[in-house]
Structure 1
């Protein structure tokens, strides 16, 4: 037990800060069951850290409801807050069931993460071997062969795999020693899945022939990861020239690079945004069909759940998003309101101390006298039929024309918050303030 807990603790403390919260990806299998137990022990040493467990219910097994209930019971016994999320997988999408389940799982888990949280997942050294061999089967380069990192940034938090240096045998021994029970997913023995085939048919033979094979894979994966990190460091100056604050990539800069360097910069861009790496063919299609499309075209390339788009000489990666055109909510002074679909929060601030600790960007200044006389302040996303007179402009113009003039990409025009006073535009966040409402005593803040 002490050895596994030391492994766990070493991983948890290898980051310079301790989190306010640990979020456990809790399937109920032996790996996550041990992870739950170790997290509970760890919390006794660091009681200021909150621990929660999130169970993703895929509905793929007849036993799924029973597993969820069992997970809830274990968390209750340890005093860990438990959350269950049901997801539906599109099995006709053409993607493998493994990938669909994994993507859905991480999408759900990301919704539970706040800044600096640790998302704990239960992968171990045997999983690392499987991941390495799957990458080798796909013909991956160093990025894919670096497999799973023990710690990696994820959205605004970190994914931590505190058991990555332990083996499946170590984990099961700990579970038996502590008298733990866990769920057994019958799909784990289904050899139709590549990972299971490697786990049951390939890895045991490798391990029998070469007992140090697992350690060798770990070493190769680490060397690949180090080479990738070094390459990113060397190319950081070029990447900073191509990358813009609106998360886009400059096409003109890319055109002046070699084919290899251009491809690398696009990969770095997608990695920074947290998206799945494209294949070599997909990378070439992104360049040929989007970046190099005719000037008057509106091209896009679907990369998993992301659209690669072009606008005003730049590449953008656009996530599939909900239609929030008809969303509307009233807002008052010094009131923080949450925007839909993870767009952030906004407030109209006159009291500088009220939201001082929140990380919010100033996007405009308003006249407090005019705002106090406003008949009905609200936030909307539908620009249809609206007219505005931005500060510094001589005339009013339709919103459609203003979005074009301010270079707002077409896919953002119904996802950019608009503050309204009755039927009048007060401000379009991140774009302009209307001349009538210009002032210096009320600040428009937006936390994205």
Structure 2
């Protein structure tokens, strides 16, 4: 065994691998900076000594944000080759968007690329160290974060936004090692690394803390790194307890994967409600709301009038109250103006793509029983009878509240009332396809077909032997029979 692998940093990585890596593939997030350079070198020494036998791949992400980006990628390729480590370089395109910092965009693009580069059952190692942890804690403190944010970085966790079946974890084996020790390792082994000139720009908060705040803190309290890291661990433990409590409350209050019972949440204290709400949003993939937004949701649940259906838009999703439940929904596009009109004369078969991910509608002339097809759990089908004198069929999502006469009612009722009777949530009422024949409402999918357009010959309660099956007879009828199927309803 060489002297190199006895170095404390190599031993730290070896112990970490023995605890967490197993037989999984190892992906090194390799920027070429001193931290990832030391990580790459130490891993290479462990493999050379046959203490690490896993498949290893160093992945460099070229963000294209520096004029030196191509040089860094070439340097990383050369270093990996010298150490006999498999190497991959990925270039990402970062488009500046509102309300996101360049640092956040680069981070998101980096982890997305790493996820794509990883095979199933992989662990990604990053070079984050103790000073990074302290900086992250102070940044969270500056933002007024709670215990989740003050937990800073975890040693190992599932990779965010990765497909669960890929089973990819993000790990930081150097998280309890000081920057000074990492730089000392690099000097002892005559390592080269790249210096990102943006790291000295104190306009960035992290660089400001690193260059101007931490040196003062360390001068006053030399062990400040360790004490802040200990506070982060306490916050992480507190967050775990809050998550366990939220799981209990979620099991009691959950109506479905995306809805909660307001009546059951009413028995919770305000703090437990807030904790449950954040957990509910997190498990549904939403970004964490601010304290003010959480208060808005609380007011919507318990202080808004019963006949109101408040809606709070948060980032890319919404929280909506309806019928004593709180729902987590996307921010749907306005599709009220979408409409498609078809001539009935040549209509035989049509496949129509509905807007905003609502699936497809298929229109099929019914000539005989074989046209009926078979039932399918992800489809809704109805057959409407259309007078041959009719000229147009229209599909849309907007109506002027006409009076309708479904077969299950003894008289006509306004469409708005019928939608209420069916318990259709307010935000979904303009997302149901309305079928019009010559501007007269014929069906509301998937709820009902209006009495005037009911097809008696092809009702599902009749046997096939009794259904109209003679093609010639159908063609002589004064009625056009049209099967409408909504896929992925």
Q: How does 1:67-146 map to 2 (within 5 A)?
A: 67-77=72-82, 78-90=84-96, 92-146=97-151
Whole-angstrom distance in 2 between the partners of 1:46 and 1:406: 63
Q: Which residue of 1 aligns with 2:318?
A: 308
C-alpha distance 301-52 of structure 1, shift in aligned 2 (>3 A): farther
Whole-angstrom distance in 2 between the partners of 1:300 and 1:397: 39
Q: Which residue of 1 aligns with 2:183?
A: 172
- Check whether the contact 2:311–2:321 (CA below 8 A) recurs between aligned residues: no
**Superposition deviation, residue 188 in structure 1:** 0.3
Structure number with greater Rg is: 2
- Check whether the contact 2:137–2:228 (CA below 8 A) recurs between aligned residues: yes
**Superposition deviation, residue 310 in structure 1:** 4.7
Whole-angstrom distance in 2 between the partners of 1:296 and 1:167: 55
**Superposition deviation, residue 192 in structure 1:** 0.2
> After superposition, what is the alpha-carbon deviation per residue over 1:387-415, rounded to whole angstroms, capped at 9, x for unaligned?
686358996369999xx9999997xx9xx
Whole-angstrom distance in 1 between the partners of 2:207 and 2:184: 21
- Check whether the contact 2:312–2:320 (CA below 8 A) recurs between aligned residues: yes
Q: Which residue of 1 aligns with 2:39?
A: 35
184-193 or 150-159: bigger deviation: 150-159
TM-score, normalised by the number of residues in structure 2: 0.61
**Uncovered stretches (5+) of structure 2, i.e. residues with no partner:** 334-353, 364-372, 385-394, 398-418, 432-459, 461-489
Q: How does 1:152-301 map to 2 (within 5 A)?
A: 152-154=157-159, 155=162, 156=164, 157-242=168-253, 246=257, 253-272=264-283, 276-285=287-296, 299=311, 301=313
Q: Which residue of 2 aligns with 1:329?
A: none
**Superposition deviation, residue 162 in structure 1:** 0.4
**Uncovered stretches (5+) of structure 1, i.e. residues with no partner:** 322-379, 414-434, 436-448
- State yes or no: 1:385 paired with 2:345: no
Q: Which residue of 2 aligns with 1:25?
A: 29
Q: Which residue of 2 aligns with 1:331?
A: none
C-alpha distance 106-164 of structure 1, shift in aligned 2 (>3 A): same
**Superposition deviation, residue 223 in structure 1:** 0.9
- Check whether the contact 2:73–2:89 (CA below 8 A) recurs between aligned residues: no
Helix, strand or coil at the partner of 2:361: coil
- Check whether the contact 1:125–1:165 (CA below 8 A) recurs between aligned residues: yes
C-alpha distance 406-397 of structure 1, shift in aligned 2 (>3 A): farther
**Superposition deviation, residue 27 in structure 1:** 1.5
Whole-angstrom distance in 2 between the partners of 1:9 and 1:275: 36
How many residues align? The count is 350
290-299 or 157-166: bigger deviation: 290-299
**Superposition deviation, residue 211 in structure 1:** 0.6
Whole-angstrom distance in 2 between the partners of 1:193 and 1:85: 23
- State yes or no: 1:150 paired with 2:155: yes
C-alpha distance 407-25 of structure 1, shift in aligned 2 (>3 A): farther
- Check whether the contact 2:300–2:310 (CA below 8 A) recurs between aligned residues: no
131-140 or 226-235: bigger deviation: 226-235
- State yes or no: 1:396 paired with 2:382: yes
**Superposition deviation, residue 54 in structure 1:** 2.5
Helix, strand or coil at the partner of 1:111: helix
Whole-angstrom distance in 1 between the partners of 2:380 and 2:131: 67
Q: Which residue of 1 aligns with 2:56?
A: 51
**Superposition deviation, residue 205 in structure 1:** 0.8
> After superposition, what is the alpha-carbon deviation per residue over 1:172-225, rounded to whole angstroms, capped at 9, x for unaligned?
111222222111000000000011011010101110111111110011111111
C-alpha distance 47-141 of structure 1, shift in aligned 2 (>3 A): closer
Q: Which residue of 1 aligns with 2:434?
A: none
C-alpha distance 298-261 of structure 1, shift in aligned 2 (>3 A): closer
Whole-angstrom distance in 2 between the partners of 1:200 and 1:212: 17
RMSD: 3.9
Helix, strand or coil at the partner of 1:278: coil
289-298 or 273-282: bigger deviation: 289-298
- Check whether the contact 1:54–1:85 (CA below 8 A) recurs between aligned residues: no
Whole-angstrom distance in 2 between the partners of 1:19 and 1:243: 38
**Superposition deviation, residue 37 in structure 1:** 2.0
> After superposition, what is the alpha-carbon deviation per residue over 1:57-116, rounded to whole angstroms, capped at 9, x for unaligned?
2222111111122222222332313131312131x5132222222222223223334543
